[in-house]
Each structure stands twice: as structure tokens, then as C-alpha cells.
């Protein structure tokens, strides 16, 4: 075979390979529509099946776990009469809410009634922060927002330690200090509720946060035993370091051994400074006997 003939043969072979490689197989128009319809049908079927499966999983989760309102003793057996056809709903949060609402066990409160800001008489925000509820993070957030919206955040240093209970004169002095802040100021302090009206002073905007009481007590227990917390204070006040056993005792061991610091007796008065087992005091006031 001559050189030209060989080149011509290779070119024809390459053309044939390209034709197979880049070929396009035409589909009838109805076939394309059928494929599209099939794809949509499959997508819709999967969506419905997944949605139904998700609903069933939620129902099983509710039945396997205690209801959020189990403390009220509500079960499907509590519904009778005209509610008999709705017995399945009682096992869901929405159904329980609707049941409590229909029986008058939940008061209807509008957002306007829950919002305390309109009740304020001065444009000062008072954050009487509950210890171990994430208050430092909220203060930092407000400081960052203050840089954007041009307002100041004042944090009570409380160098003498957290003392939420105040004498009448101390309470009056703190109230006077707060009402004299410039408009737009935020003041944060670990202190119990201050009754501005009782002291004939204008009320600020109150905010606060709470935490699960058990989790909060456990958090406080380990917090005060952290070396970076108790060492600087004891060195500053020339106090001896605590017993290693006090530092290393786990919370469950403290409770099971009946130690006083881990014993919670109803109606008992507060211990000494640093006893923050009752976060409700931060919403009650400074009368220890009335608030406990």
C-alpha cells in the first residue's frame, strides 16, 4: 500500500471513530416527555414518602420519650366526649398545647402584655444577670452591638464578690446610680431584683436570662473549684488555698455523701456569700425571708 493510500485509509478510519464518538441519537418528542414525566413522578413519590416517614418517626419519638407536659399528668386517656376523635394529638406538643388552651389551663397572653419595654420610664437597660446562665456572652454581644449603635455597656466590677442580697441603703444607692446613667446605657450586675417604684424612682428596661436549675447548680459547683477562679482571689486576700479534696470532689460524690454544700433543703435560708442555688431570688428581691 502506498503512503498516500495509507494516509487516506487512516483519515477515513478516524472519521468513522469520531462519528461513533460524537453521535447523537434522536429521541421522539413523546419519549422525551415520557422521561420528564417519569422523573417528576419519582421526585414527588420520594418527597411524599420521606415526609410521611418523617411524621411517623416524630410520632414514635414522642411516644418513646416523656411529654413536655408529663408533669401535668396528661395522656390520651384524659380526653373524652367531643375530644375523643383527637386522642392522637395529645401526644404531640401542638396537640397538648391546644388541649391545655381549650381547657383554660393556659392563659392567653398577647405579645403586648409580655413585652416589658413599654413599661420602662427611662431609656436605660438594666441586666441584673443571674450567675452561670451565659451572661458574659450576652454582655459581650451587647458591647459589640454598642459599637455599631453607639451606646455604652457598664458592668458592675463587684470586686468584693457576688453579693446579690443588699441592705436597704445599698439597694437605694444602686437604684440612684442606675437612674443617673445617660439614656441608651446598659448596666449589668449580679444583683437581685431592684424595686424602683418602691424607692419612687423611674423604672428602667429589665432583661435577664435563666437556666435549667440543676444544670446551673452543677455548673456553679465546678466553676468555683476551677484554679483560675479561686487562686487569684485567695492570693489577693492572702488566704490559704483550699483542701485538694474540696477541689477534686465530683458533684455526684458531694451529693451522695450528704455534704452541706450539696444538700438542698426546702425553705432553708441562704448559706453565705456565693450561695447561688436559687436563681428565683434574682426576680424576687432582697427580703431573704419572704423570697425563700
Residue the block writes with cell 383554660: 104
C-alpha 41: how far from its chain's center?
41
> Cα separation of 285 and 96, whole Å?
34
The confidence score (pLDDT) of residue 45 equals: 64
> Cα separation of 286 and 282, whole Å?
9
- pLDDT tens for 250-264 read 999 999 998 888 887
Higher pLDDT, 242 or 51: 242
Q: What is the mean pLDDT of residues 195-204?
A: 94
Burial class for 99, CB neighbours closer than 10 Å (0-12, 13-18, 19+): buried
The residue out of 86, 108, 130 marking a domain boundary is 108
Question: By residue range, what is the domain housing residue 30?
Answer: 1-65
Asked if 61 and 124 sit in the same domain, the reply is no
The confidence score (pLDDT) of residue 84 equals: 42
Q: How confident is the model at residue 160 (pLDDT cuts 50, 70, 90)?
A: low
Inform me whether the pLDDT recorded for 152 exceeds 70. yes
- Number of domains present in the structure of the chain: 4
Which of 64-68, 182-186, 202-206 comes out lowest in average pLDDT? Answer: 64-68
Asked if 42 and 123 sit in the same domain, the reply is no
- pLDDT tens for 63-85 read 545 444 444 444 444 444 444 44
Asked if 129 and 203 sit in the same domain, the reply is yes
3-state SS of 143-193 is HHHHHHHCCCEEECCCCCCCCCCCCHHHHHHHHHHHHCCCCCCEEECCCCC
Inform me whether the pLDDT recorded for 174 exceeds 90. yes
Inform me whether the pLDDT recorded for 14 exceeds 70. no
Q: Which residues contact 99 (CB under 8 A, 6 or more apart)?
A: 74, 78, 79, 83, 89, 90
> Cα separation of 206 and 193, whole Å?
9
The residues annotated with a catalytic role in the active site are 190
Please give the radius of gyration of the chain, using alpha carbons only, rounded to the nearest integer: 34
Q: Using a cut of 0.85, tell me whether the model's pTM lies above it.
A: no
C-alpha 162: how far from its chain's center?
24
The confidence score (pLDDT) of residue 194 equals: 95
Asked if 166 and 228 sit in the same domain, the reply is no
Higher pLDDT, 212 or 35: 212
> Cα separation of 17 and 58, whole Å?
57
Query: For all residues of the chain together, what is the average pLDDT?
Result: 76
Q: Note the maximum CA span of the chain.
A: 118
Asked if 237 and 202 sit in the same domain, the reply is no
Amino acid at each position: 500500500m502506498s503512503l498516500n493510500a495509507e494516509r487516506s485509509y487512516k483519515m477515513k478510519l478516524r472519521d468513522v471513530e469520531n462519528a461513533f464518538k460524537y453521535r447523537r441519537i434522536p429521541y421522539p418528542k413523546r419519549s422525551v416527555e415520557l422521561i420528564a414525566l417519569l422523573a417528576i413522578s419519582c421526585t414527588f413519590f420520594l418527597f411524599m414518602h420521606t415526609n410521611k416517614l418523617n411524621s411517623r418517626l416524630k410520632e414514635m419519638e414522642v411516644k418513646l420519650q416523656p411529654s413536655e407536659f408529663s408533669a401535668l399528668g396528661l395522656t390520651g386517656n384524659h380526653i373524652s366526649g367531643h375530644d375523643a376523635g383527637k386522642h392522637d394529638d395529645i401526644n404531640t406538643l401542638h396537640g397538648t398545647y391546644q388541649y391545655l388552651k381549650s381547657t383554660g389551663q393556659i392563659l392567653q397572653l398577647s405579645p403586648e402584655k409580655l413585652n416589658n419595654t413599654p413599661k420602662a420610664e427611662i431609656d436605660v437597660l438594666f441586666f441584673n444577670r443571674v450567675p452561670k446562665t451565659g451572661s458574659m456572652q450576652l454582655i459581650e454581644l451587647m458591647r459589640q452591638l454598642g459599637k455599631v449603635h453607639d451606646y455604652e455597656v457598664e458592668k458592675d466590677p463587684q470586686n468584693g464578690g457576688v453579693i446579690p442580697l443588699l441592705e436597704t441603703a445599698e439597694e437605694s444607692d444602686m437604684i440612684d446610680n442606675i437612674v443617673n446613667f445617660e439614656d441608651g446605657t446598659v448596666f449589668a450586675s449580679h444583683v437581685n431584683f431592684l424595686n424602683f417604684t418602691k424607692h419612687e424612682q423611674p423604672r428602667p428596661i429589665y432583661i435577664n436570662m435563666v437556666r435549667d436549675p440543676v444544670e446551673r447548680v452543677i455548673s456553679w459547683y465546678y466553676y468555683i473549684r476551677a484554679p483560675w477562679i479561686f487562686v487569684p482571689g485567695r492570693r489577693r486576700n492572702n488566704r490559704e488555698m483550699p483542701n485538694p479534696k474540696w477541689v477534686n470532689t465530683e458533684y455526684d460524690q458531694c451529693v451522695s455523701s450528704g455534704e452541706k454544700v450539696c444538700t438542698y433543703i426546702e425553705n432553708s435560708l441562704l448559706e453565705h456569700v456565693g450561695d447561688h442555688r436559687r436563681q428565683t431570688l434574682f426576680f424576687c428581691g432582697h427580703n431573704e425571708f419572704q423570697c425563700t
